[in-house]
Structure 1
């Protein structure tokens, strides 16, 4: 039962002290009376009841931050339309919490809504209560200032209680959700106490292979550049060294360093050229074709792969940390698997000189030299700004200096620009019409088109206005489809489940971006191992490869453990991401949070992800009819690096909770 609460009377201590005009709420079993909002705002629990927070709230998932006991997600008193609840749980959409009841409870009650601290923001949340796999309560979308809702549901004889918070269908920005005064009433004081369900942690479904000593070429099979603009491409290769490189049919204007595998120069003419690359090592020789396209706006033919500073360093990024990351890209071997960008995020800026030219702060004393250093390694150099007056971190942004900044970036050798909406909200003044959303990106796109180098243009505006539908025509090479990712299951689950349908808008040169990778040591300056469990990380990497997402590592490159390296360097998975056909995966079936995602590949095979978003292992089936193939098909498991045999019509496998089995189905041409 859900009842809107329309009138509160409060004492100075903010506790509700008077009866509220509500219908009588009676339990349907054993005549147990439901708690009223007044009961739930008291300092002590109702008779025979325990507060929800007495269970292990650390098991609650949230889309941002960590759920808090008796506080909001931001650490403030739980407040719904002016009423403070001394007990309860503050969380952030999307959120879920599974409680084991052992048949000893009779009722769950809570007052729910978007916390008052979200006033002035476009927050929206929904609350759902599921008892023994049946939804028994669902609120409408609740926004800041809306009347909170009293939820009261019968639990008599129930085994499981699942509490969920949704994002209201418009993203998770500021979706601070309160379970105010949440209480579970027991049949008696002797009843077994509720306890948080702990998701079973099975070993990661992944085999770390022994490095192959034979030479191999990896990464993109196609790349594009504007004739006359600087060209830089490091041939990604692995194998026992020393490695030497050669190329047949290089276009005019390009040269290859045989010792480093770095191709530089500038195309003299437009056109498409197939180049035969060869790498030789101590254990043999490997060849591969690289297609080079010369023409206007031909960058990002495959999703960019590299590293970005934000998810690990936040505003504490420094030149030394960026250089160390670039060095480690080579020393770890990840450059040999196709990672090529080193991107500085926010916190490099330091105002403007008398002529309005953007300056760097003391952490980056010579940014041109830093760019040269990165280029000297055969890697590309990225930077960050905002179309507003300030960046997200409060630093100088590009508003009304777009061409000046584009000229500076070109002079510094920048190859990639992440452009973050942030304070442009103050310029737009709440106008989220399509022309308003497009305007700042059109302005910077025009500025970038006038400089003498190719700069990948990455929109960071969180998916507003269905950016995937218009990002390409506005000059974007990629665009964020979501809010910022966090290193927790709630965030990851919300992001990947909301990508369905976006795939039709992406392809070579323009990609959906569900944000950066959250594996390894992360933390936005407060570093720690990712809170994503190993199988969640496997799902994360699998989905980003299936979706043709930019693969920007967000961790401390100097502390890469074997598991993280295995995740990031699986060439069979990376080949899906970098497939030259450029057709991101679609969700072909879904049922009860168990999905099948699939995409065709250039060699005639299909990549398939069996994705289990539930809290228990589950058997999931890929059916050939859903993929558009017939007859017996060979199946290969890409995380186990194992051929499984040929199967007629379908293939089924048990997938770990919060896990993914990544398959390649069919025979290459």
Structure 2
């Protein structure tokens, strides 16, 4: 784990015993991963090779799909033979096997801490009383495959220090093949400073030798966290390579990892995949909207899809996300292209993936905490000119036609995923309709706020008998002040509607959801219905005078590791485990503890004039951590500190926020990944 915040769980940087071993040997740690923003563009030759070279051994011609226990169990006792067999059973009974999920993978802690007298690995008999081969046989009997884990070091990454494969590559690879292993995840801890390329190539050769003697090929997953840029050298070593540190079950973590992986599209292709780590879908740290974004982004990036939740406890929504075959088909497209970023301005992402049938998958991804209109065109996606196109919504499983526009108002942290193709039958599908929203409304209890919406026809055919309606929660009043119907909506035209929305007098502050729906008929008479959730915030005006930010309710808070903390540092990953906010040895009683990347948004309602704070990297991070602090008033950046390290003195900042409706406190990672980036907004206060 490359986040210092996870000291009490699995630690991906070398620490404790490993550090002592390195110190004794006079060796140093590998260099930290280079930030995505500073990575050089791949050469034309390398990019061309990554596009066209197939895996010589025919392995992983599409990204591997399956399960890995680590994200849900870590090293707890529940990781055992019964769990693994139960996952295999669920793959079959829940349709996941038929959807393409193949591998049931064991992560760290499956072995005993010591090898036997012959230097062989030994399975933990408490966890796996019948041994690994018996588990492999069971999984194979289900028509599935099994994976296993070890490290390219003397010990694995768990703090208990199970045996690693460094110096035992031939023996361990042969043992894995004899057990019937189909997939090896090869980690990076306790590596004694041995060159990464050497370590990973040695295991490659060992796996090939074992395959020759057993006839069992093993997919090889290189897990060195992107520290040595494996995308530049590992295409002939393994079938996939980690590009980032470990993921955690949070929006900030998932987002930062996606941003690191997206620029590496030229290096991916059949038999060699960029791996941004396992899926967190279903583990509870994100909303279903965020999990759909997670799954959409991994699929459009042609990433391995390894389920990281305990499927025995998963709810229907989790299965619905993981089992979406329309989205899986994007990930598993045989052309093997990773999606590329067409635009990302203002957190509005357009990511396009070329498909084997000549079409495109396009993700309209909204990074921000407010609904956003995101748009592109068929031409911009690289599709040939045509009178119309087929537009399939891969989450709604609906087909429409478009004259060339591809657009949607995307909910906060949401993703709309389309498949766009030139189709001679395009006019047989109903026209695509785009629901649009003006600014997200804020209202105080008992007061009325205006809401503006529009329905646009993106199709190449008209929409008929058009009607829109807006509904709110119980007790809310909604009335219209302009037309809500149109007999016909021609191509490119819009029906704009103004509404007045009144919150109940006793409404408590917080986020509420209204629903905008549109109904219309296609030229052939088919009925079409579409909807858009509209967030409305019931707010309280900030008090007059100076008020600490930690004493005010926030509209939204996201954090790169663990939750945002009030009046303490972030501490570890759990809520409430922070320490006094400490900068330059001075403790501060009030403020916000964050971990980059982070955003905390407040409603100021035009009443406030200034924001002040003392900012820096919290002393709990020792000499580590790089954080940049920003203040945004509505959509404008009004303050930026530049990157601060733990060696820099805390900085006192004042930002003018006159007239702003909202103020966002933003921290970024300083451009060098998010390891140890604990930032403090000490003594943070608004003057209103």
Query: Which residue number corresponds to residue 465 of structure 2?
Result: none
Query: Which residue number corresponds to residue 348 of structure 2?
Result: 594
Q: Does 1:664 align with 2:419?
A: yes
User: TM-score normalised to the size of structure 1?
Assistant: 0.54
The one of 33, 53, 57 aligned to 1:297: 57
Q: Distance in 1 between matches of 2:306 and 2:421?
A: 29
**Deviation at 1:535?**
1.1
Query: CA, structure 1 residues 657+347, in 2 after alignment: closer, same or farther (shift >3 Å)?
Result: same
Q: Distance in 2 between matches of 1:494 and 1:583?
A: 21
Residues 391-431 of structure 1, C-alpha deviations (whole Å, 9 max, x = no match): 0111111111100000000000000000000111x343xxx
Query: Which residue number corresponds to residue 392 of structure 1?
Result: 157
CA contact (8 A) 1:485 1:491 kept: yes
**Deviation at 1:560?**
2.2
Q: Distance in 2 between matches of 1:295 and 1:586?
A: 22
Query: Which residue number corresponds to residue 103 of structure 2?
Result: 341
Note the 1:371-410 alignment, pairs <5 A: 371-393=136-158, 394-410=161-177
Q: Distance in 1 between matches of 2:177 and 2:262?
A: 36
**Deviation at 1:466?**
1.7
612-621 vs 324-333, greater mean Cα deviation: 324-333
CA contact (8 A) 1:437 1:464 kept: no
Q: Does 1:368 align with 2:234?
A: no
Q: Does 1:533 align with 2:287?
A: yes
Residues 74-101 of structure 1, C-alpha deviations (whole Å, 9 max, x = no match): 69xxxxxxxxxxxxxxxxxxxxxxxxxx
Query: Which residue number corresponds to residue 463 of structure 1?
Result: 226
Query: Which residue number corresponds to residue 409 of structure 2?
Result: 654
Q: Distance in 2 between matches of 1:668 and 1:560?
A: 38
**Deviation at 1:501?**
2.3
* Alignment root-mean-square deviation, CA: 2.9
Q: Does 1:472 align with 2:235?
A: yes
Residues 343-364 of structure 1, C-alpha deviations (whole Å, 9 max, x = no match): 0000011221222111111212
**Deviation at 1:64?**
5.9
Q: Distance in 1 between matches of 2:80 and 2:193?
A: 30
Query: Which residue number corresponds to residue 684 of structure 2?
Result: none
Q: SS of the residue aligned with 1:509?
A: coil
Query: Which residue number corresponds to residue 400 of structure 2?
Result: 644
Q: Distance in 2 between matches of 1:346 and 1:660?
A: 33
CA contact (8 A) 2:108 2:149 kept: yes
**Deviation at 1:465?**
2.1
Runs of 5+ consecutive residues of structure 1 not aligned to the other structure: 1-62, 66-71, 76-116, 122-166, 172-293, 429-435, 523-529
Note the 1:88-107 alignment, pairs <5 A: none
CA contact (8 A) 2:269 2:338 kept: yes
Q: SS of the residue aligned with 1:498?
A: helix
Q: Distance in 2 between matches of 1:324 and 1:439?
A: 37
Query: Which residue number corresponds to residue 633 of structure 1?
Result: 389
Q: Distance in 1 between matches of 2:337 and 2:135?
A: 35
Query: CA, structure 1 residues 499+573, in 2 after alignment: closer, same or farther (shift >3 Å)?
Result: same
Query: Which residue number corresponds to residue 270 of structure 2?
Result: 508
Query: CA, structure 1 residues 481+295, in 2 after alignment: closer, same or farther (shift >3 Å)?
Result: closer
Query: CA, structure 1 residues 588+170, in 2 after alignment: closer, same or farther (shift >3 Å)?
Result: closer
Q: Does 1:447 align with 2:206?
A: yes
Note the 1:6-21 alignment, pairs <5 A: none
Query: CA, structure 1 residues 572+618, in 2 after alignment: closer, same or farther (shift >3 Å)?
Result: same
Q: SS of the residue aligned with 2:379?
A: helix
Q: Does 1:417 align with 2:184?
A: yes
Q: Distance in 2 between matches of 1:73 and 1:360?
A: 26
Query: Which residue number corresponds to residue 310 of structure 1?
Result: 70
Q: SS of the residue aligned with 2:75?
A: helix
Q: Distance in 1 between matches of 2:133 and 2:190?
A: 27
Query: CA, structure 1 residues 396+638, in 2 after alignment: closer, same or farther (shift >3 Å)?
Result: same
Residues 613-661 of structure 1, C-alpha deviations (whole Å, 9 max, x = no match): 011110000222321123322211110111132223x222101111110
CA contact (8 A) 1:635 1:647 kept: no
Q: Does 1:547 align with 2:314?
A: no
Q: Does 1:580 align with 2:339?
A: no
Residues 449-471 of structure 1, C-alpha deviations (whole Å, 9 max, x = no match): 10131000001111112211112
Q: Distance in 2 between matches of 1:549 and 1:449?
A: 24
Q: SS of the residue aligned with 2:90?
A: helix
Q: Does 1:497 align with 2:256?
A: no
Query: Which residue number corresponds to residue 34 of structure 1?
Result: none
CA contact (8 A) 1:64 1:486 kept: no
Q: Distance in 2 between matches of 1:390 and 1:534?
A: 37
Query: Which residue number corresponds to residue 6 of structure 1?
Result: none
Q: Distance in 2 between matches of 1:355 and 1:668?
A: 63
Q: Does 1:557 align with 2:301?
A: no
Runs of 5+ consecutive residues of structure 2 not aligned to the other structure: 9-15, 21-32, 38-53, 425-688
Q: Does 1:519 align with 2:281?
A: yes
Query: CA, structure 1 residues 349+533, in 2 after alignment: closer, same or farther (shift >3 Å)?
Result: same
Note the 1:259-278 alignment, pairs <5 A: none
User: TM-score normalised to the size of structure 2?
Assistant: 0.52
Q: Does 1:357 align with 2:124?
A: no
Note the 1:232-247 alignment, pairs <5 A: none
The one of 378, 386, 390 aligned to 1:624: 378
Q: SS of the residue aligned with 2:58?
A: coil
CA contact (8 A) 2:55 2:271 kept: no
How many equivalent pairs are there? Answer: 379
Query: Which residue number corresponds to residue 35 of structure 2?
Result: 169
